[in-house]
Structure 1
Amino acid sequence: MKRLVLLMMLVMASTWLQGCSRDEQGAGAPRLVSPDGRIAIDLSRAGDGQLAFRVTHDRAEIVARSPIGLTLSSDEGKAASPLLDLTILSFAKREGRERYAVVGTAREVDRPYAALMVHARERSGEQRLLDVELRAYDGGAAFRLVVPPQARMGLVRIGEETTAFRFPANYACLGVHQSELANSHEGEYMPVAANALKRRGYYDLPLVCRTGRGGETLAISESNVENYAGAYLVALPERHPGVAVKLTPHLENPKLAVDTPMVEGGVASPWRVIMIADRPEALVASTLIDDLAAPSRVLDPRWITPGKAAWGWWSGLMARDVDTPGHNQATYRYYIDFAGRFGLPYYMIDWGWAWRDPSRQEKNPLADITRTTDGVNLPALVRYARERKVRLWLWVNWKALDGRMEEALALYQRLGIAGIKVDYLDRQDQEMVAFYHRLLSTAAKHHLMVNIHASFVPRGLDRTYPNYMTQEGVMGVEYNRWSKRDTAGNHVRLAYTRAIIGPMDYAPGAFRNVTPAAFVARKHAPEVMTTRAHQLAMFVVFPSPLTMLADAPGAYVDAQGGLAPGADFVRLVPTAWDETQGIAGEFGNMIAVARRQGSRWFVGVLNDEQARNVILPLSFLGAGKWRLASWRDGATPKAVVTGSGQVHAGRGGLRVRLEANGGAALMLTPQR
């Protein structure tokens, strides 16, 4: 039955266009134009009474006329039915401006937009009301559906959205396919034509596509999910280029995605977002997901501090000079000592610190996250770390936290814990979305920062809750422990896709670098299939205000106790930025990203499996002379060639040789 309902929705999205008259396709329709005049989005009514939108970029259609809608019911005993026989009652335009700051991403954002609110009603039957709010920004367009307060609707029950994104041509896309609705949102973004998307399963956000007109690129995602279910994308029928929205259903009722009381202002869907850029690498500078998110609910965020963290889980808690490395006081002190010497503000204590009942029959029973395992004294560790100017983060299982959140988080605040890493969520249904909001608001109350793993991909919650420092929802460095899937090409494609929508806890800085041919997956002292310079570049390319160092402390020092090649860059690279620009790229194959903190620019260049020479433009620099420091590929994967020199802003470009699976990291400082 579930597949039948989905098929009916997709058929509606495919066949609906045939019923549009010329007038209904846009003449006199409500229309918005972005402040720079380049992007337009309009709304109209189709022949069957569905609403429809269209997006143009430089007057060329980038999203063809596509349906907007949902199936709705206000009665627990009645199935949700589509809103089809709609008429537009009225609409009103306005201009707006988003001014805000996001921890780690941009010191100040000042983004103007044009807005349009459209009010519609069914002409027959229950005469239900539906509003559509649209926005046009420089760099994209968005819309959302709002079920407004109305008679006989104290409860809002949504089965499906009938919204689709129909492409006017067969775009070349990058997408990550998931076979199940409940998953950790990890996987490879792979090249796929828009008419060849897989019929079965679901595509996670974002879907990023080249249109074929020069470098023009769009990305489809969503923002500001609350009291609603997260969405996937599914292929349109008959191999029509494009996708439809698929809401994640309730666990107990697959026919229902949203079940919530009516609230003042109505029940709103997340924003359906179309990010647009002239070049694919320019999407890394987009703030559109955060622009559309709810404003910050943390009144005073001064306690929230970005930074890097020592981390032992990936390398297997390797600790030199510790007799029995593991979940014990000596090992944790070893990592705290390293963090203090290396200038890291944090140490992440991962799985294993909390007490588990040995009498339980499960292999890994839920821990008591208010008690420590034998041999660990948490208050003593906090004091030991504080003396070294280091603060601690704690890993917790979300199920262990769910029933005693207030108790546990109040305890961590009293102890002086900096933040928590919450794991194994693996869902994006309405109930889990509500857990995110409850977790982040409760953590903020107790001045705790948060990192969520096995999470859904970003939807702007880092603006709403600035203590939400980073999140997974990405196939990260951990996959090198058991597979060969985490390749250099995967990293480049992540930069064009997952990294453009929000913080990404990949965990760079793996220093056991080998060629793919020599690579062996292992859980102790794991290796990676990229050069060390490639690993350095990820600190710049992948956004994450909290950045975990993948490797063990011993990987960052040489045999004489000095810094290993490249470790000096790991120490000095920031995790919080004032400005971002994508300066060069080949879609899915190579990318160069420049980020500024204060007066200094850092550049990260990631390359796939094909060696190449690239020329990096210097137009992003201000006028004058700049001092250049560089970390580039050497003769072996572990080798790093360092250099220094002087460059002049606006004078040509900088030639960089990238080895296969390689990269480069640069730092540019203005000369006074």
Structure 2
Amino acid sequence: MRQYFWLLLLPAGPAAAQATAPLTVQLDNVRLQVARNAAGQPTYAVQFGAKPVVTTSRLGLALADGPGFDGPLEITGSETKDVDETWNPVWGEVKTIRNHYRQLTVHLRQPQQPGRRLDVVFRVFADGVGFRYEVPRQPGLSYFTVQQELTEFNLPANHKAFWIPGDYDSNEYAYTTSRLSEVDTTPIEAIQQKAAPHRVQTPLMLKSDDGLYVNIHEAALVNYPAMMLDVDPATYGLRSHLVPAATGAAAYLQAPEHTPWRTIVVSDKAPEVLVSKLILNLNEPTKFPTTDWIKPQKFVGVWWEMHVNKASWNYADTSNLKLAGTDWNRLKPNGRHGANTTNVKRYIDFAAQHGLQSVLVEGWNVGWEDWAGNWKEEVFDFVTPYPDFNVTELQQYAAAKGVQLMMHHETSGSVTNYERRQQEAYRFMKEHNYAAVKTGYVGRIIPRGEHHDGQWMVNHYNHTAALLGQNELMVDMHEAVRPTGLHRTYPNWLASEAARGNEFNAWSSGNPPEHETILPFTRLMGGPMDYTPGIFRIKLESWNPAQNKGRQVHTTLAKQLALYVTLYSPVQMAADLPEAYEQHLDAFQFIKDVAVDWDDTRILAAEPGEYITTARKAKGREDWFVGSITDENPRQQTVKLDFLTPGRQYEATIYADAKGASWDKNPEAYQIRKQKVNSKSTLRLQLAAGGGAAISLRPIQ
């Protein structure tokens, strides 16, 4: 393996209006250059081999209080170091992660008074670059406000891009595939806050015509707003845009402080983007003293039946209720409340029968009658159940069956209310043996004027993960900011939603068949997603014909199985209703068998927007699982099993699309076959349109 480490040290001096020779660092094929342009402003550029990845691009911070770092800056010095270490995640896609990088710290200073100082720290990996701004402790700069960041990612050509609008309050969009010059969010119906016409979210996935795959995102998002990207359709340049606070500024900071890492993952092979650990490596190790209480798991729950209009979250249909003083026992029940004791017991029985660890219950607590869209401060108290939900009885019933209940906290966007009540809510969880909580942030944020992806909310999400960790509780966050690898720091933060999940198939135009082939290259680059796979009743009219007319999941049943492997999460939901699974127990066997924690992961084939085939080895076992999915096009995938242990025989159970299956016309047609295989075997999988295949591989003793 070729490894280079080149460095040219620039002398300090006045910021003359001329370009300077670059500082250069290289590791394998990735080469970084840092310099100043003719205006004396700091710049950087990245190459992969001989190919440009990011051409000369500006660096800088614009401050709201006094001279910022948006003009000429002197380079006063630099330091370098080489790091090569390994570490073991609490859970993850692999057992051991190598963290190998070459770091360059560049010291910058304003040439004029007050001579404020700024450092830019670069880490060059074999698969990309991460960099961040660091503001050291210094006279005359203690508290400061970042108005905007001036970071650029100038691209050499009009790449193909996989993007969603740069909405400050929602990530729940279907992806658009277009050239950068064609990025335009105006035809897309806004979910929360309308994006600017050429503003997109990260992670942004790009493919060049000369065969490079480039992913732009960020790592370790702490005390700072999320970064969007403004696209220049004429030059293909990208410029950072920070989600503003209610005041219009971006971030309120105190030195010493640093920004999140800006990340560029690059390869000439698509699978190598998916196995990159660059973002995870740029996060801090966990501070939790113990982690043995963190348990990856599978669960079922009272959830999908509300989305398909078979049940409701609310107990009554009365609106305009006030939390304080309401006598909930006097309300007239609507007869459709899903979170009732009898129904929850049914899910507990199903979980116990099939070896699933937990049961999620949404709609168990009072307040659902009067919250959606009202921008109301106090809706939920997170400890008061509806009259038909017996907390103690269900706690005892679940414990007797060896199952745990999973808590649900919908904040209704009233985050100030949630923060006032968190300690009491988490005590309630501990008292009633809840080990994990699914949080939700549907609606406009309170404090009013703040955004889901702004600094205030970013701090809330991180505070919540830390506080839950102090209580030895796990969390799955929905409607939160998209992940940036913080599950290394907070390994109890098992998953987030932060993208368009499976439920959109139940009450919208749905997710196009290509959607799940794009998500690993975009949303999942920063961390696991709770996509809620496993829907078996693809056509939804049977649940409620009047309200579900024409609605369906846009995959085959076999593809729903494959998603347990291709969309990584340590907490996976078997999202359909028990009665749907009971009609297909032979296919449900794969959900029972598939692991959620892994020792090894191999991306066997991948192309964003088209197909993915992934193989994973179960934690502490010799079992392997394979998932293969396609977009709207049928295709054949050839799977070489050379990752299996040589000399061992395995039984392969293959769950595949049946002949004539397709996502739209015949989605529930599948076939199951078994055969003996070894490391020299090759399987040929025929994937239907919108389809997939799932394989379990178990050693023959």
Are 1:40 and 2:31 counterparts?
yes
Say what the alpha-carbon RMSD is for the aligned residues. Answer: 2.6
Other-structure match for 1:202 = 199
Q: What do the CA deviations read for 1:162-216 (whole angstroms, capped 9, x no partner)?
A: 10111112211211124x42x22111122121233236253111111112233x3
Residues 527, 385 of structure 1: alpha-carbon distance in 2 compared, 3 angstrom cutoff: farther
**Residue identity in the other structure for 2:159:** Y
Map 1:288-367 to 2 at 5 A: 288-316=278-306, 326-350=338-362, 352-356=363-367, 366-367=379-380
1:476-525 CA-partner distances (Å, limit 9, x unpaired): 11111211231211121223322232101110000012499xx9895699
Mapped to 2, the partners of 1:328 and 1:405 lie a distance apart of 24
Instruction: Please name the residue that 1:91 is paired with.
Output: 78
The number of equivalent residue pairs is 624
Name the structure 2 match of 1:613: 636
CA contact (8 A) 1:514 1:530 kept: no
CA distance in 2, matches of 1:55, 1:646: 47
Which of residues 207, 215, 219 in structure 2 aligns to 1:219?
A: 215
Residue type at the aligned position of 2:350: F
1:114-513 alignment, distance < 5 Å: 114-178=102-166, 180-181=167-168, 183-198=169-184, 200=197, 202-214=199-211, 216-236=212-232, 239-251=234-246, 253-254=247-248, 256-262=249-255, 266-316=256-306, 326-350=338-362, 352-356=363-367, 366-398=379-411, 399=414, 400-424=417-441, 427-513=452-538
Distance 1:143 1:569 in 2: 42
SS of 1:315's equivalent?
Answer: helix
Q: Distance in 1 between matches of 2:17 and 2:397?
A: 70
Cα drift, residue 585 of structure 1: 2.6
Counterpart check, 1:534 vs 2:559: yes
Q: 1:448 to 1:580 in 2, by over 3 A?
A: same
Deviations 1:265-322 (A, max 9, x none): x211110001122322332212221111121121201000001111221223969xxx
Q: Which residue of the other structure, out of 689, 693, 698, is the alignment partner of 1:660?
A: 689
Q: Shift of residue 549 of structure 1?
A: 1.5
User: Take 2:343 and 2:368, find their aligned partners in 1: how far apart are those partners?
Assistant: 22
CA contact (8 A) 2:540 2:552 kept: no
| 1:102 CA drift (Å) | 4.1
SS of structure 1 residue aligned to 2:292: helix
How many percent of aligned residue pairs carry the same amino acid?
29
Amino acid of the structure 1 residue aligned with 2:570: P
TM-score w.r.t. the length of structure 2 is: 0.84
User: Which whole-Å CA distance do the structure 1 matches of 2:387 and 2:548 have between them?
Assistant: 24
Shift of 1:618: 3.1
Relative to structure 1, the CA distance from residue 54 to residue 102 in structure 2 (aligned partners, 3 Å threshold; closer, same or farther) is farther
CA distance in 2, matches of 1:285, 1:521: 44
| 1:640 counterpart (656, 665, 670) | 670
Deviates more, 1:542-551 or 1:481-490: 481-490
User: What is the CA distance between 1:344 and its match in structure 2?
Assistant: 0.6
Deviation at 1:99, TM superposition (A): 2.1
Q: CA deviation at 1:669?
A: 3.0
Tell me, yes or no, if the aligned pair for 2:42 and 2:72 is still in contact at 8 Å.
Answer: no
The amino acid of 1:407's aligned partner reads E
Q: Aligned pair in 2 of structure 1 residues 133, 98: CA closer, same or farther (>3 Å)?
A: farther
What is the deviation of 1:475?
A: 0.5
Question: Conserved in 2, the CA contact under 8 Å of 1:510 and 1:535?
Answer: yes
Change (3 A) 1:361 1:481: closer
Is contact 1:102–1:466 with CA below 8 Å preserved after alignment?
Answer: yes
Matched, 1:590 2:620: no
User: For residues 440 and 616 of structure 2, what CA distance do their matches in structure 1 show?
Assistant: 29
- Give me the whole-angstrom Cα distance separating, in 2, the residues matched to 1:503 and 1:521: 35
**How far apart, in 1, do the equivalents of 2:235 and 2:488 lie?**
36
The answer as to whether partners of 2:458 and 2:481 remain within 8 angstroms in 1 is no
Could you tell me which runs of 5 or more consecutive residues in structure 2 were left unpaired when the two chains were aligned: 1-15, 185-195, 312-334, 443-450, 661-665
One-letter code aligned to 2:357: P
SS in 1 for 2:253: strand
Shift of 1:359: 9.9
**Stretch moving more, 455-464 or 394-403:** 394-403
Change (3 A) 1:389 1:88: same
- Distance in 2 of aligned mates of 1:594 and 1:280: 15
Q: Deviations 1:49-68 (Å, cap 9, x if unpaired)?
A: 21111111123211111111
Change (3 A) 1:117 1:170: same
CA shift digits 1:101-152 (9 cap, x unpaired):
1423333212211111111101114211110000011222110011111111
Q: CA deviation at 1:542?
A: 0.5
Calculate the TM-score normalised by the size of structure 1: 0.88
Secondary structure of 2:158's match? coil
Report how far residue 623 of structure 1 moved.
2.6
Cα 1:170–1:650 change in 2 (3 A) is farther
Kept in 1, the 8 Å contact 2:652–2:675? The answer is yes
- 1:396 CA drift (Å): 1.0
What letter matches 1:575 in structure 2? Answer: V
| CA distance in structure 2 between the aligned counterparts of 1:157 and 1:187, rounded to whole angstroms | 31
Deviation at 1:548, TM superposition (A): 1.4
Distance 2:280 2:230 in 1: 24
What is residue 15 of structure 1 aligned with on the other side?
A: none
Distance 1:482 1:362 in 2: 17
Q: Which amino acid aligns with 1:95?
A: D
Answer whether contact 2:539 2:551 (CA < 8 A) is retained: no
Q: 1:417, CA displacement in angstroms?
A: 0.7
For structure 1, which runs of at least 5 residues remain unmatched after alignment? Answer: 1-18
